Amino acid sequence: MPAPFDLLPHLLDGLLTTLLVTFGGATLALVMSFAGGLGRLSRSTARRALAAVYVEGFRGTSALVQLFWVFFVLPFFGLEIRPIAAGIIVLGLNVGAYGAEVVRGVVRSIPFSQWEAAQALSLSHRQTMWHIIIPQALPTMVPPAGNLLIELLKGTALVSLISLNELTFTAQTLRADTLRTPEIFGLVLVLYFAVALMLTAGMRRLEQRCGSWRNPGAIR
């Protein structure tokens, strides 16, 4: 039986695409988490309603259906999106909807006395949010954000269904060509696990740094 490592270069090519979708989706998810979470806390009724439609819409429907809708349905309306862009958009918006609830919940957990102190200093609502509330909320946001990042990584396997040559699609192609199913998907599991471990380590490091901002005497 040939060694499984001859399959690794092919799988690494797919892994690069997986990482691109992961980090592209994570960037969009970060933006949408704050836009959606703070939107639901806005004083504007229109912003609250728009944020609620976004959050509940993406949380209440399947990511797979969302992906198919963006990739297969939008072209009927004259909007064609490349597979990698479709994956980044759908996964980013989907995870961002869950992240928005994290942002909303953590911001609301900050004691109201912080708002009162900011008002006493004549700070505007925007200044209070970005200079007082958000810095205190960030350390609490990081752990659930790390969980969502891992879920986004695993969710990249969905984009194989729109023929994007990422890790899972590459593995399926190799399996069809070589019939070496146990070796191929064994390596795929190892690669996903290795990336997840690195992401987890990075998020834990970020959590420690955020904790040190809030508590300068904390051990790093």
Which pLDDT does position 120 carry in this prediction? 84
CATH numbers and ranges of domains, the chain:
4-214 (1.10.3720.10)
**Whole-number pLDDT of residue 72:** 94
> Is it the case that residue 145 has pLDDT exceeding 90?
yes
* pLDDT one-digit tens code per residue, 40-97: 998 899 999 999 999 999 999 999 999 999 999 999 998 999 999 999 999 999 999 9
Whole-model pTM? 0.88
Of the listed ranges 60-69, 117-126, 197-206, the least confidently predicted one is 117-126
Say which residues have a Cβ less than 8 Å from residue 186's Cβ, sequence separation at least 6: 4
The number of beta carbons lying within 10 Å of the beta carbon of residue 55 is 23
CA distance 173 to 37: 40
Structure token digits, residue 76: 């009927």
